[in-house]
Chain A
Amino acid sequence: MSFAIIVDSTSDMNAAMRKKYDIDYVAMNYVVDGIEYPASLDWTAHSPKEFYDMMREGKRITTTQVPRESLVSAFSAQLEQGKDVVYVACSSALSGSWNLSTLVAEELAQQYPEHRVYCVDSLISSLGQSAIAVLAAKLREEGKTAAETASYLEEHRLRFNQYGSCDTLEYLRRAGRVKASKAFFGNLFGVKPILISDKVGQNYAVKKAKGALNARIALADGIAEVVENSAEQVLYISHADNEDGAMQVKDLILERAPFADVEVSYITPIVGSCVGPGTIIAFCYGKEVTVQGE
């Protein structure tokens, strides 16, 4: 019996991927100048350029987790059709959406005792979260149940590795979504943090690189070090309005490890407002993440 797969706005999963893998999403919201917009994965309110230019001009953008009613309606719609749901949520260290979804799932269980919503804390975001959802779609294709899929994802989620680099830690720090000491980055000019997603799903600045090119090299080195069986895998790269940089990272990684396919996509407004313009993040499947930020 098939089941539905749902992600949310932090997955950065574009329309083509959603169509290809039959995945739906629930939207968070972002607020600019007091106006709330749904964080569409298809850029319905602002184009990527418009959005990141607002950030470059210093506009403060805040975000909200997935509203309760969105979760209720998205989940009930599937349950109504007699389907189980696997919700691959943004890392619980970065958003309250997963936590809320477990409460919603419990309530709906009474209403729909025959079917169930499995809420998986992805412990990652952006295309790393998408990659986990894509894995779910493959398991579904293999005939696995929602329960089997959810427990498989929970067992393997820490195999998804992230190497990201922001132009500045300022946005992440402001959003409270990074672990790094003040002295580590201070207001050091030209120093780019290299961020992994640690074993509790928090962004953690593991090292620093001087200059944009050195940062990209550090991402490529990081991916090459952790990846396993790269030739059978998809490499995911997301970027905040930095296509040239993303292409360079792609080339640098492919010089180090061959991948079966590469998926490059924009970082959409929720993650984008936390990491800032220029950010590039690469994801792959490989060694289990064991690091935890101090």
Chain B
Amino acid sequence: MNSTQAQHSVLHADRWQAMLVGGYRNLKRNMTVVDDLNVFPVPDGDTGKNMTMTMEGGAAGIREEFDSIGEMMARFSRASLFAARGNSGVILSQFIRGLAVGSEGVTDYTPVTFAKAFACGKEFAYHAVATPTEGTMLTLLREGDAFLQCHSFEDFDTCLSALLSQMRLTLQKTPDLLPVLKEAGVVDSGGAGLVCIFEGMLSALRGEEIEDDAPVAATEFSAMTAFNENSTLEYGYCTEFILQLLRAKTDIDTFSLPQLTETLQQMGDSVVTVQDGSVIKVHVHTFAPDEVIAYVRQYGELVTVKIENMSVQHSEIQTASQPKERQKYAVVATATGEGIKQFFAGVGVDVVIDGGRTNNPSTEDFIDAFDQLNAEYIVVLPNDSNVIMTAQQAAELYNNADVRVVETRSLAEGYSALSMMDLAAPTVEELIGDMTAGLPNVTTASVAPANRDTTFSGVTIHKGDWLGCEGDTVWSAHADPIAAAMQLFERLPNMDDKQVVTAFYGNGATEQEVMAFEEAFADAFPLVEIGFIEGGQDVYRYIFAVE
């Protein structure tokens, strides 16, 4: 450390702002490390991403200068609440909310006022969850708070570095508190994410520059679209750019906009061109954006460019019904996989939010979905245990409808709830009653690939095996997906009580495989009805609703 560096007895808003940004950047740099601290041996960990996107939203909300920490934290908190996704993101956003509440009226932090705000943050984080689990981010906050309350510090540098040491210590203890962590041989991912944030904050406090990677939200775009390896380009690309005419390439004074427009009209349609001096703004729908760009670069260079696949825009508009007459009920559900999304839309879901286990939607995604609707009651199906808290946070923040969250923990539960839904129900209680009555009887099972050699719930697993899982319990592992699925059903403890299996088959399952599986299942379980729906989901070869 640099001994000549000034110690901070008081933190002004500008430094605290830099620290928040530093915390965000450092977490982002370590995002995949945190993601990989996944208890479950399936490549679907996303704690790092969820926390990063929560911080990213917060950081985007405090781009201007602030005179007071209290004001800045209010903004940072509101922005991160909206950006929060996944349980870890929601807990983090509630911690930040508490920090903000504890910082109300605070212009500058002293170690004492910071400790007070931290305590308030811890309280909010604990209140975010119905049954707080120890061995998680919450334990780091609790022990961090206890540490701050029984120590006094002259300056922030010592305070923060001591707090960070305490958090690291607690993080190492998380496997002792939470057996699933111990079995998987990892520390808690949310806690690790929190440590990354505080490491980044300490670096920023010390004036160290943390390199900024590209924002996560932008790089995630492709993963959130409806366009996949089986799609065809139906609508072309919506292409927009600003072209700076260059003297080196063209005679700007004699440059002819009508001629450029005419050529673009041959390359596509919906052409709009606007010229302002030597700058041209262009909008065109085309199947060959590369040709359009090569053509216009004869005259200059691009200042900005945006190219969007319109198949994606198209399908997103499809799921978003126009706000019409106020309905009594509207339904919002998250789903992943094109087939599942279409299926949900077909059985009465008004807005399907893309997302799920590996791609948790944010609070704001839910609020945007609510805004597309015009209904007295909005019923929300989160369809993943890691999305429930986000949906509840959105419900709490939304005022234009009575939002009810049906706590579906998986796509299978969401499917079951939807299959029993009756939108003609006279009251919202009856509507939800029909949807939830069968949920205790729904077993969520799946077949997914293993991402490492391990032993899990007593099953020896080789990397690349197909795992037959019931929720987070692994019942079988086999090189063949059908064998893994059949062993799963043979071992499921309550198969005798089951009547119906609905199987959503994912990308990669061939028709022959599905038929072979159906035959094997019918032989083994003649009394159970099985039906197949093309789910089109990634990662999970099969998702089963066993009822």
Contacts and interface: CB of A to CB of B under 8 A. Distances in A.
Interface in A170-209: 181, 183-184, 186-191, 207-208
A261 to B, nearest CB: 30
Contacts of A191: 419-420
B420 A211 contact: no
Contacts of A214: 499
B486 interface: no
A188 to B, nearest CB: 5
B422 to A, nearest CB: 6
Contact of B499 (A183, A188, A212): A212
B347 interface: yes
A190 B423 contact: no
Contacts of A208: 419-420, 422
A190 B348 CA distance: 17
Contacts of A211: 499-500, 529, 547
A294 interface: yes
B499 A190 contact: yes
B424 A294 contact: yes
Contacts of B502: 189-190
Most buried by A among B346, B347, B348, B434: B347
B531 interface: yes
Given A181-B424, A212-B529, A294-B424, A186 B499 contact: no
B533 interface: yes
Nearest to A207: B422
Contact of B424 (A184, A186, A188): A184
B420 A183 contact: no
A190 B547 contact: yes
Contacts of A188: 347, 419
B420 A186 contact: no
Nearest to A188: B419
B438 to A, nearest CB: 6
B144 to A, nearest CB: 47
B80 to A, nearest CB: 37
Given A190-B529, A212-B529, A184 B500 contact: no
Contacts of B531: 189-190
A210 B422 contact: no
Contacts of A262: none
Contact of B423 (A183, A187, A210): A183
Nearest to B497: A213
Contacts of B416: 210
Contacts of B347: 183, 186, 188
Nearest to A205: B422
Contacts of A181: 423-424
Contacts of A183: 346-348, 423
A191 B420 CA distance: 8
B354 to A, nearest CB: 21
Nearest to B442: A210
Contacts of A189: 419, 500, 502, 529, 531, 533
Interface string B416-431: 1001101110000000
A188 B417 CA distance: 11
A224 B438 CA distance: 22
B348 A210 contact: no
A206 to B, nearest CB: 9
A186 B533 CA distance: 13
A211 B416 CA distance: 12
A153 B438 CA distance: 40
Contacts of A212: 499, 529
Interface in B495-547: 499-502, 529, 531, 533, 547
Which 4 pairs, one residue from A and one from B, show the smallest C-beta to C-beta distance?
A211-B499, A190-B500, A189-B531, A183-B348
9 contacts: A181-B423, A183-B346, A183-B348, A188-B347, A188-B419, A189-B419, A189-B529, A190-B500, A211-B547
Interface of B: 346-348, 416, 419-420, 422-424, 434, 438, 499-502, 529, 531, 533, 547
Interface of A: 181, 183-184, 186-191, 207-208, 210-214, 294
